Amino acid sequence: MKKLFIFLISTSFCLFFISIYNVSSASTTGVCTEILKGGVFDKHDTLTSEDKFNQVINLISSNEYSSWDKAQNSKLELGIDLIDVIDASLGGSTNQQNFEERRKEFKNLSYSQVSLKYLLISRVEVASRNITNAFVRCVDITTQKGGFAAWIEPSSNRRSFVVNAKNVVLGGGNNFTINKLMILPSEGVSCSIDSFPYEVQGDISIACQKPVSDTVQVSMDTNVGDLSGVDVRGYNDAFYQLQSTVNRLANNGSLVASNTVAFFKSERCPDGWDTYSDADGRYIVATNKSGKLGGTVGLALSNLENRPTGNHQHELKAKTRVRANYTPGGGGDIDWYDHTYKTSNPIAQKGMSFKDGTNAPYIQLLACIKK
């Protein structure tokens, strides 16, 4: 995985922003802005370890994280445990009594004093991956040029959220139908649109309210794509907000490309997939440039068939001669004809035996193709 780095900061704290990933203002609205919040996104790994060290120094030196309580909450708010960063850099253990003293000591550190340990930088990079993945996925969805996409935009108060969906078809015809919107558990949940099917012209945002402490699961079924089982977490699950962010963004109509073939250990294909019967009883081989896509060779295996291999035939083309019926002009008395001989499996000689070939070991799974 590439080394990526993000700071999430509250609106009351202002940190400079390095514009490495060029995204338009429209692209970073909604959930992307919520994820990024004016931080640093180092997609191309252009920040050095010293750059990252200086960023953390600025963060810990700010008034926003000058108190023990705020530093304790930094893992939830930033995805970076500032107390752990201090301990990794200084050694020892930070507690409420010595926090201010150790914070001052950390602020006076130079990069050369911690660079040999690499502990500080590794703490930051590992802690930031969930945020980074969420931001990348968000940009992919909101800047998508064609097809269907759907995503959830949660609010900071965890009481409300917005279900977004759009369908982009080059040349027009981007209307679609929401067949149903399901939110479970449904008790205490209300949305701005609650009557389905609902016709949409291009894009839609549905505002919803839920109990602040509860986590709900959102699913939406449309005629062009689905949003399946996305968690919108309440305060009771706040600690897992960053992991949930990746999960929220992992469902959209184009996440799995059409015609993708996959194998499932189930009796039927999942929703949005069809049985790929062409693969039944066959091994899968990657085609070459001039190969016929989807082409098949030979007879497919039947259920649990252990077809012998290694027993086979050869064709031998040769000339055979027969006595001539007519020999004009003093010719020879032999005629030559083409003849093909077919070999058979060898016959065991006295004191010898032959073992039938066996098929390669295999497992049977259900092959499905994405609609």
Convert the pLDDT of each residue in 89-131 to its tens digit. Answer: 788 889 999 999 999 988 888 877 776 555 555 555 444 444 5
Q: Using H for helix, E for strand and C for coil, what is the string for the chain?
A: CCCCCCCCCCCCCCCCCCCCCCCCCCCCCCHHHHHHCCCCCCCCCCCCHHHHHHHHHHHHHCHHHCCHHHHHCHHHHHCCCHHHHHHHHHCCCCCCCCHHHHHHHHHCCCHHHHCCCCHHHHHHHHHHHHHHHHHHHHHHHHCCCCEEEEEEEECCCCCEEEEEEEEECCCCCCEEEEEEEEEECCCCCEECCCCCCEEEECEEEEEEECCCCCCEEEEEEECCCEEEEEEECCHHHHHHHHHHHHHHHCCCCCCCCCCCEEEECCCCCCCCEEECHHHCCCCCCCCCCCCCCCCCCCCCCCCCCCCCCCCCCCEEEEEEEEECCCCHHHCCCEEEEEEEEECCCCCCCCCCCCCCCCCCCCCCCEEEEEC
Q: State mean pLDDT over 14-32.
A: 33
- Identify the residue with better confidence: 96 or 327: 96
pLDDT at site 20: 24
The yes-or-no verdict on residue 138 having pLDDT over 80 is no
Mean pLDDT value of segment 208-235: 83
pTM over 0.85: no
Domain span at residue 64? 31-140
> Whole-angstrom Cα distance, residue 237 to residue 215?
7
The predicted model gives 225-250 an average pLDDT of: 61
- Residue 190, pLDDT above cutoff 90: yes
User: Would you say residue 188 lies in a domain?
Assistant: yes
Stronger pLDDT, 33 or 89, i.e. the higher one: 89
Residues 77 and 148 in one domain: no
Same domain, residue pair 170 and 228: yes
Out of 88, 121, 140, a domain closes at 140
Mean pLDDT of the chain: 70
Looking at the structure of the chain, the number of domains it has is: 2
Single residue among 249, 264, 280 that ends a domain in this structure = 249
Contact 276, 259 (CB under 8 A): no
Residue 246: CB atoms within 10 A of its CB come to 19
User: Does the pLDDT value for residue 37 go beyond 50?
Assistant: no
Q: Determine the average pLDDT of the residues in 61-77.
A: 78
- Co-location of 149 and 168 in the same domain: yes
Kindly state whether residue 163 falls inside one of the protein's structural domains.
yes
Output the pLDDT for position 276.
Answer: 93
Is 50 inside any structural domain?
yes
285-297 as b/e: b if 16+ CB within 10 A: eeeeeeeeeeeee
**Residue 270 resides in a domain:** no
Domain for residue 178, yes or no?
A: yes
Mean pLDDT of the region 234-253? 51
Q: In this structure, what token pair is assigned to residue 90?
A: 């200084």
| Rounded percentage of the chain residues whose pLDDT exceeds 70 | 54
Q: Which of 218, 249, 280 lies at the terminal end of a domain, its last residue?
A: 249
Predicted confidence (pLDDT) at residue 224 exceeds the cutoff of 80: yes
Same domain membership, residue 120 and residue 220: no
Quote the tokens at residue 337: 């004809």
Q: Tell me whether residue 310 is in a domain.
A: no
Least confident of 78-82, 114-118, 144-148: 114-118
Residues 244 and 228 in one domain: yes
| Shared-domain flag, residues 197 and 136 | no
> Could you tell me if 111 and 87 lie in one domain?
yes
